[in-house]
Structure 1
Amino acid sequence: MNYLGVDIGTTGCKALAFDGEGRLLASAYREYPLHLTRDGGAELDSGLVMECCFQVIREAAAGAGAGSVAALAVSSQGEAFTPLDSAGNPLHGAMVSSDTRSAAYIPQWLEEFGEDRLYRATGHTAHPMFTLFKLAWMRDQRPEVFAEARRFLCFEDLLGFRLGVDPAMGWPLAGRTMMFDVCRHVWDGEILERAGVREEQLARPLASGSVAGEVSGAAARDLGLRPGALVVTGGHDQTVGALGAGVTSPGVAMYATGTVECITAATPGAVFSEDLRRANLCTYDHAAPGLYATIAFSLTGGNILKWFRDNFGQQEVLEAERTGRDPYELLLEQAPDEPSSLLVLPYWTPSGTPYFDPDTPGAIVGLRLSTGRGELLRALLEGVALEMRLNLEILEGAGCRVRELRAIGGGARSRFWNQLKADVTGRPVTRLDVTEAGCLGAAMLAASAHSGTPVQELARTWVRTGETLEPDPAKAALYSERLEHYRRLYPTVKEFAARR
């Protein structure tokens, strides 16, 4: 039997089919546009997203062999939701994580509900990315939509609903709504009541790897799936991706490099602490049974390399068009192997953890006439890696020690970039054979539910590691010293920017 992992992201969706031994059989990808508004809105057309999901499922299933896919699961972007009418039609675009229109509703929530109460129940600190505050915005700013909505579904449960299943989502995705009690594993009644949402309007929260139902006969025929194919709960893309990277025990963490830079670490249980709360480091369910996860992220990640390409890499873009090589690969070849003399605060976007600061801008310190383009490029990547090192130090101080990083995402293909991360973080970085860990983790959950094999056991054979890059001792020592300067850079820039 074969198994399908579906990943639903902000800019596109993909499906990968694997056989029972975890070998990749087929893959498919579709893009869709993100619609931005002047008031901070960022929405997806949920109908189009579902069409694209059906297309990639159909294509990957055909590549694996018609009727051979026995189960599928979903790795889903967090927070985004779609209001549906009584016929199941979308009433509004899905407000994705980067939609900031709900920011004004947070202070009142914290004052009236209680900041500590909200954190202790949900494991998260308030931010406009979360579903809870987006619903508050919709209730006030789109009252006709809110009143007509019979369901509010995230993308994992929306796809299941389209496949003919009573909507269900994995615990990790439920956690990202900030309406879910991450210890009791139920929707929090007090939060729902204050939000004006009824439990029956939401999906069933189930542990990742649970059978949510069977694909309807019509959908199975349309998509080329095996009759009675199972829909299995997956969850939030970061935790499902961590499972696909083999993060099935504490001490190992996924290091994902895409538009956003993200580290997902496993913990043996929920971890609540004042240090983690101040650093906005969450605690919620892992996709691996019995574990919890925390996420450290920088909203400036691989996008800083794109910024550099667009502004300083015209030569490499032209060469890539001429030779067929990747322009990013050509750019990274220009960066020196030795550490730069610059210090970069990588806030080309609002910051992620630990500060959740939307206002303080990025900064480059130490520029001279002798500074070359390659050194500047290396310094930008060093700045992002130092931000992630800062997060790792906070986690370690709270008892969440990470001894190894597993690299996934587009940036994981670059040996140079992975070595830089190992040197800056002071931790070995291991590359994986399959960089699409979200789809692999989802397929593992599907295979586990269908075959009865524990997912941790599947991970030992399905997750195939490649080269491990150890930190260079001399460079790691230099970056450890530089981290102390980096700690002081943020408050200095913040104070300066506030006075402008």
Structure 2
Amino acid sequence: MSQQCTLGVDIGTSSSKGVLVAADGTVLGTATRQHRVERPRTGHVEMDPRIWWQEFVELSRELLDGARRAGHDVVVRAVGVSGMGPCVALADAHLDPVRPAILYGVDTRATEQITRLTVELGPAAIVARGGSALTTQAAGPKIVWVAEHEPEAAARARRLYMPASWLVAHLTGEYVLDHHSASQCNPLYDLEAREWYAPWCEQYAPGLELPRLLWAGDVAGTVTAEAGLATGIPEGVPVITGTIDAWAEAVSVGAHDVGDLMVMYGTTMFLVATTDRLVRTPSMWTTVGALAGRTCLAGGMATSGAITTWIRDLVSGGAAAPGYPELLAEAAASGLGSRGLLMLPYFAGERTPVQDPDARGVVVGLTLEHGRGDLYRSALEATAFGVRHNLETLRAAGAQIDRVVAVGGGTAGDLWTQIVSDVTGLAQEIPATTIGASYGVAFLAASAVAEPGAQPSMAAWNPVAERREPDAAAHARYSRIYTQYRALYEATADVVHAVVDLARDEAAAHAAAAPAPATGEAA
């Protein structure tokens, strides 16, 4: 007997993940492809969008072939997609990229454009129209950066994609984008009207045909014959529009009701609070939700899991890197406070609520007695302090937080999530399935093709498995350290900014002194 299922694929910063899910939410198979982003210059974070489709094809084939080898006669009823964002992937009319995709807020290249657009349009007008101030998270200034720095690429660009819409285009031939992703294209989207704002689109994205807008769970089209041959998915299977990964993560754990807060533990840390109205504050991001009728106030740290990966690679000394379980055990042994270490986790600048692309990582308290476990724990504690800073800002802006749900790869084991609960003083629910965004869009795909009255329930698909309760004594001790954490940025910001400026000057001098390429070589 055949088994109906949905396929979900998410394109993340460090990997792409796919999941095949039965109609009752049971995971039939998972698959992953690792990849790296490119950092051609300080502040530039890019990726070739062709990798996104290549990895989707590989994941789809692996999941479907694996299910059949396991004896499952699977029938794919629908496909869901999501990805990191907001990204700026510009392509010509034939779906050929004109340059690598510029990634979300971790890419800080467009600071000059952010400043100029803010002056030209007025900060109050930008917030009134788009919900948020222009920051490195906004896609609009990055489109302007391309026009100003790479005019030949801009001249060939006709369409704007993000990972989910790139996959939809390859699967169905449709050119669409979900409303949530569009709401992060500030200043091009009108948050109140739920549509592109034509005057500013014409001013800052001339020549671009902007995509048709749908909601994340809407069916965008069906799999074409060509895409079916490549992926193994039958022609005619519906494909939903999809959305940005963090919002798909929230769907995956049912955290999209008013008062819900999702905390995503990944390469970066992300927080999404669902609100009963549009809540605006300059240091956070106001968006529409993944689902129609929802609004959100969100925040994101530029690095979290990325720091732990960096430490793991750093301490390997060229040998085999220690495993995460080994490092977590050493971090647990280090104890609360990391034996006197305190870290600012701004290794790639910082997004919310600091909004400082020139912030950098800082570690204070180092002695010759400290080991890698202390450093590793200080990174976990630093990200927890960053979560608390974001939480305090969300609440101060008026967001109601009644329930916290944790999701993502960082929820494996209990140390990191326990540290976050102890630092914030908030309990966290951890669902049975923490696969994340790919599972969320598989659910949206199942919902899109469900018969009337037979809609799936995420509570049934993914019930709560654990609760991480804060320890009152640990919270009191962490609160004292948190005061120093907040003071550390203020005390070091001027020095850090001066060092960043010096590094830019040195990089410019080095580039100017470099020999010109020989005749016939590519510049």
> Counterpart amino acid of 2:111?
A
Counterpart in the other structure of 1:377: 376
Q: State the 1:483 CA deviation.
A: 3.0
Counterpart in the other structure of 1:8: 11
Distance in 2 between the 1:469 and 1:447 partners? 30
Contact persistence 2:157–2:207 (CA under 8 A) = no
Contact persistence 2:137–2:351 (CA under 8 A) = no
Q: State the 1:349 CA deviation.
A: 2.6
Q: State the 1:99 CA deviation.
A: 3.3
1:235 counterpart = 2:243: yes
Contact persistence 1:71–1:230 (CA under 8 A) = yes
Contact persistence 1:220–1:229 (CA under 8 A) = no
Contact persistence 2:220–2:238 (CA under 8 A) = yes
Counterpart in the other structure of 1:91: 98
Alignment equivalent of 2:115, drawn from 107, 116, 123: 107
1:56 counterpart = 2:63: no
**Where does structure 1 lack aligned partners over 5 or more consecutive residues?**
none
Contact persistence 2:313–2:321 (CA under 8 A) = no
SS of 1:405's equivalent in the other structure is strand
User: Cα gap change, 1:4/1:371 in structure 2, threshold over 3 Å: closer, same or farther?
Assistant: same
Q: State the 1:235 CA deviation.
A: 0.7
Contact persistence 2:275–2:400 (CA under 8 A) = no
> Counterpart amino acid of 2:385?
L
User: Cα gap change, 1:296/1:17 in structure 2, threshold over 3 Å: closer, same or farther?
Assistant: same
Counterpart in the other structure of 2:305: 302
Distance in 2 between the 1:341 and 1:60 partners? 47
Q: State the 1:230 CA deviation.
A: 0.6
1:192 counterpart = 2:209: no
User: Cα gap change, 1:253/1:169 in structure 2, threshold over 3 Å: closer, same or farther?
Assistant: same
1:38 counterpart = 2:41: yes
**Where does structure 2 lack aligned partners over 5 or more consecutive residues?**
500-523
Distance in 2 between the 1:33 and 1:361 partners? 21
Q: State the 1:488 CA deviation.
A: 2.4
SS of 2:449's equivalent in the other structure is helix
Distance in 2 between the 1:339 and 1:40 partners? 30
| 470-479 vs 250-259, which moves further | 250-259
1:444 counterpart = 2:443: yes
1:216 counterpart = 2:261: no
1:252 counterpart = 2:257: no
Distance in 1 between the 2:420 and 2:490 partners? 24
Contact persistence 2:279–2:398 (CA under 8 A) = no
Contact persistence 1:350–1:358 (CA under 8 A) = yes
How many residue pairs end up in the alignment? Answer: 490
Q: State the 1:422 CA deviation.
A: 0.7
Contact persistence 2:177–2:212 (CA under 8 A) = yes
| 403-412 vs 389-398, which moves further | 403-412
Q: State the 1:71 CA deviation.
A: 0.7
Alignment equivalent of 1:139, drawn from 147, 151, 155: 147
List per-residue Cα deviations over 1:72-115 (Å, max 9, x = no partner): 12112112233222333222221222333322212221111122
Distance in 1 between the 2:155 and 2:494 partners? 44
Counterpart in the other structure of 2:518: none
1:281 counterpart = 2:288: no
> Counterpart amino acid of 2:289?
H
SS of 1:451's equivalent in the other structure is coil
Contact persistence 1:288–1:456 (CA under 8 A) = no
SS of 1:3's equivalent in the other structure is strand
TM-score by length of 1: 0.90
Question: Percent identity of the aligned residues?
Answer: 29
List per-residue Cα deviations over 1:313-332 (Å, max 9, x = no partner): 66995665xxxx84444443
Q: State the 1:223 CA deviation.
A: 2.2
Contact persistence 1:61–1:223 (CA under 8 A) = no
User: Cα gap change, 1:125/1:457 in structure 2, threshold over 3 Å: closer, same or farther?
Assistant: farther
> Counterpart amino acid of 1:193?
E
> Counterpart amino acid of 1:126?
L
> Counterpart amino acid of 1:242?
A
List per-residue Cα deviations over 1:345-366 (Å, max 9, x = no partner): 2223312211111334333344
User: Cα gap change, 1:481/1:64 in structure 2, threshold over 3 Å: closer, same or farther?
Assistant: same
User: Cα gap change, 1:488/1:336 in structure 2, threshold over 3 Å: closer, same or farther?
Assistant: closer
Contact persistence 1:6–1:16 (CA under 8 A) = yes
Q: State the 1:447 CA deviation.
A: 0.7
Contact persistence 1:102–1:137 (CA under 8 A) = yes
User: Cα gap change, 1:164/1:125 in structure 2, threshold over 3 Å: closer, same or farther?
Assistant: same
List per-residue Cα deviations over 1:383-403 (Å, max 9, x = no partner): 221121011011112221324
SS of 1:35's equivalent in the other structure is coil
User: Cα gap change, 1:23/1:491 in structure 2, threshold over 3 Å: closer, same or farther?
Assistant: same
1:155 counterpart = 2:163: yes
User: Cα gap change, 1:386/1:338 in structure 2, threshold over 3 Å: closer, same or farther?
Assistant: closer
TM-score by length of 2: 0.86
SS of 1:100's equivalent in the other structure is coil
Contact persistence 1:67–1:224 (CA under 8 A) = no
Contact persistence 1:304–1:348 (CA under 8 A) = yes
Alignment equivalent of 2:82, drawn from 72, 75, 83: 75
Contact persistence 2:332–2:377 (CA under 8 A) = no
User: Cα gap change, 1:74/1:365 in structure 2, threshold over 3 Å: closer, same or farther?
Assistant: same
Mapping of residues 340-355 of structure 1, within 5 Å: 340-355=339-354
Distance in 1 between the 2:321 and 2:426 partners? 36
Contact persistence 1:296–1:388 (CA under 8 A) = no
Distance in 1 between the 2:453 and 2:475 partners? 38
Distance in 2 between the 1:368 and 1:33 partners? 33
SS of 2:172's equivalent in the other structure is coil
Contact persistence 1:431–1:466 (CA under 8 A) = yes
Mapping of residues 330-345 of structure 1, within 5 Å: 330-336=329-335, 340-345=339-344
Q: State the 1:141 CA deviation.
A: 2.1
List per-residue Cα deviations over 1:290-323 (Å, max 9, x = no partner): 2222222222312222233233466995665xxx
Distance in 1 between the 2:357 and 2:211 partners? 32
User: Cα gap change, 1:455/1:377 in structure 2, threshold over 3 Å: closer, same or farther?
Assistant: farther
Counterpart in the other structure of 1:356: 355
Counterpart in the other structure of 2:474: 475
Counterpart in the other structure of 1:125: 133
User: Cα gap change, 1:146/1:255 in structure 2, threshold over 3 Å: closer, same or farther?
Assistant: same
> Counterpart amino acid of 1:6?
V
Contact persistence 2:6–2:21 (CA under 8 A) = yes
| 307-316 vs 81-90, which moves further | 307-316
SS of 1:36's equivalent in the other structure is coil
Distance in 2 between the 1:315 and 1:147 partners? 44
